[in-house]
A and B are shown apart, each in its own frame.
Chain A
Amino acid sequence: MNNLTACERLDIIRHKNRPTVRDYIPVIFDDFYEMHGDRLYGDDGAVIGGIGYFKGMPVTVICTVKGRNLEENKASNFGMPHPEGYRKALRLAKQAEKFKRPVICLVDTSGAFCGIEAEERGQGEAIAKNLMEFMALKTPVITVILGEGGSGGALALAVCDELAMLENSLYSVISPRGCASILWKDATREREACEVLKITAEDLTKFGVCDYTIEEAEGGAHNDALTTADNISAYLEGALERNLKKGLDELLNERYTKFRKIGEFEEI
């Protein structure tokens, strides 16, 4: 594991050759079938979901996806979901529950999209509902943060039994840019904000948010997507084994406790 600062990691996850979900899915899963639509409004290109095999076991895969070029980014809205993306995710998660498949979420998003239509269709409600429903989902949920974990937009796919982060990924309540513009009224000071916010896998492990850190290829995932994918696979294999052997009550109680215990306060 390297010892980079949050800022240096930010550069790595913004590298133009940083592998995306589209690079990982074919390596990690077999016979992946993508499923479309939330059955309510439409199909969101920022969220990919589907079913496939992970080492011979049927699983449901739900991801936020960034594009590798402008065209892909147009289709995926730069990885920023609209409410229908979160509702598609929930639909597929409920389906996984029905067929007793574990859910694997791969997250790489700067956040939920902020726009008129997102508000009209209830961005807040869509995220809130996912938080509530994933908390009670009767099947294991494993989330891996691949690059950016942007606020509520990432959390909507990160109410899980285990949260892992790629070693350079960042997971934050607010984008460093947003933080800088609120704190110092100057969005260009995002690099400073990056350090203040404590958003690396190491920081988040200390806070009890991140359970595992997955090593990337030497110098960052862009140097070797395959090695990084193998590391993700190896992690997932262990995570599924750990969680599939739990009884349902145990699984759900531990998931509840995982989040319930987070908070830093004192009583005077």
Chain B
Amino acid sequence: MLEDLFSIVKTRFNVEQQTEEKKKNNVPKDLMFKCPRCSNVVFKEDFDKNAKVCPNCNYHSRISSRERLEYSVDKDSFEEFDKGMISKNPLDFAGYEEKQQELRAKTGLKDAVITGIATVHGEKIVVGVMDSNYMMGSMGSVVGEKISRAFEYATENKLPVVMFTCSGGARMQEGIISLMQMAKTCAAAERHSEAGLLYISVMTDPTTGGVTASFASVADIVIAEPKVLIGFAGRRVIEGTIRQRLPENFQSAEFLMEHGFVDMIVERRKIRRTLAHLVRLHKKK
């Protein structure tokens, strides 16, 4: 028995060493993709063809909001709202404006969400897509305002709303104003709901903090992509509080479904069809 124990420890040790070695491998970025979850390496071309999903472990990698729209709504159907909205610097936070200018130039985005109207298999929806490339998808004034306006537009025009969320949470640089966006977006979602309209949120990697604790969680139907991270507090924060390592699947989409906070897990390649079906199911005769 003791021997077994030793061998278990030994294999564990070896595995760790291997992954350490794997991490050291420098994969050319434009040629190969290395999955951050299973460390599997595939040709980038194959990975792209697979909707940027790891063919080995089915990890749905982070994608830009434009890519997300490409996979999720009908081609050329998207019309963007509030294209020119940019945030101010309410706290006079040092470096905030420079950081935004830099990111705007780098990503072509103006903030961490794009909203608009689109169709899925011909069904009209109001859609919002967050983008983790812009300050980790954090929610400040612009994100809060655009999302609230999207809900208000949908309420006025009796349309369903689909929100693809990914966010590190509230945007610290905008202080209390970013906290208030949580209440503001929920308020707009409430009025939409009160009007008897459908709201679907699709949680993508990662959905955390103030976004999980606001509009992302109050949808009629909560969908998640496989294996993505969803939670309120960050993993390191929790590990710091309880001083122990957390289980591997903690805060995964599957973990949330098991605990009753996600209705279904839908793969990226099936999302458009699923959304179309769900929207049709809610159509009033």
CA distance A209 to B215 in the complex (A): 20
Contact stretch, chosen from B6-14, B186-194, B277-285: B186-194
Task: Say if the beta carbon of A198 comes within 8 Å of chain B.
Answer: yes
**Which of B91, B217, B250 is the most central at the interface, judged by chain A CB atoms within 10 Å of its CB?**
B217
CB pair A264–B232 under 8 Å, yes or no, is: no
B83 to chain A, nearest CB (A): 9
B186 cross-chain contacts in A, Cβ below 8 A: 128, 131-132, 135, 159
CB pair A182–B86 under 8 Å, yes or no, is: no
CA distance A132 to B213 in the complex (A): 10
Task: Say if the beta carbon of A151 comes within 8 Å of chain B.
Answer: yes
Nearest CB to that of B171 among chain A residues?
A173
Q: Quick one: given A129-B218, A136-B190, A260-B184, are A173 and B88 in contact (CB under 8 Å)?
A: no
A80 to chain B, nearest CB (A): 9
In-complex Cβ contact of B174 among A122, A133, A178, A264 (8 A): A264
Task: Say if the beta carbon of B162 comes within 8 Å of chain A.
Answer: no
In-complex Cβ contact of A264 among B88, B94, B170, B193 (8 A): B88
Q: Quick one: given A127-B213, A132-B218, A260-B188, are A119 and B250 in contact (CB under 8 Å)?
A: yes
Q: Quick one: given A116-B238, A262-B177, are A131 and B90 in contact (CB under 8 Å)?
A: no
Nearest CB to that of A117 among chain B residues?
B242
Nearest CB to that of A154 among chain B residues?
B179
Nearest CB to that of A156 among chain B residues?
B213
Residues of A within 8 A of B (CB): 112, 114-116, 118-125, 127-129, 131-133, 135-136, 151-152, 155-156, 158-159, 171-174, 178-179, 182-183, 196-199, 203-204, 207, 209, 256, 259-260, 262-268
A-B contact pairs, 29 of them (CB 8 A): A115-B238, A119-B251, A121-B259, A122-B217, A127-B214, A128-B186, A128-B212, A131-B218, A132-B189, A132-B218, A133-B190, A136-B194, A152-B232, A156-B213, A173-B172, A173-B178, A173-B179, A174-B172, A197-B172, A204-B176, A207-B175, A207-B176, A209-B177, A259-B180, A260-B184, A262-B177, A262-B184, A263-B177, A265-B142
Residues of B within 8 A of A (CB): 82, 84-91, 93-94, 141-142, 144-145, 148, 170, 172, 174-184, 186-191, 193-194, 209-210, 212-218, 231-234, 237-238, 241-242, 246, 250-251, 259-261
Q: Top 10 closest A-B pairs, CB basis?
A: A124-B212, A114-B233, A128-B217, A263-B141, A124-B232, A131-B186, A123-B232, A127-B213, A173-B179, A264-B88
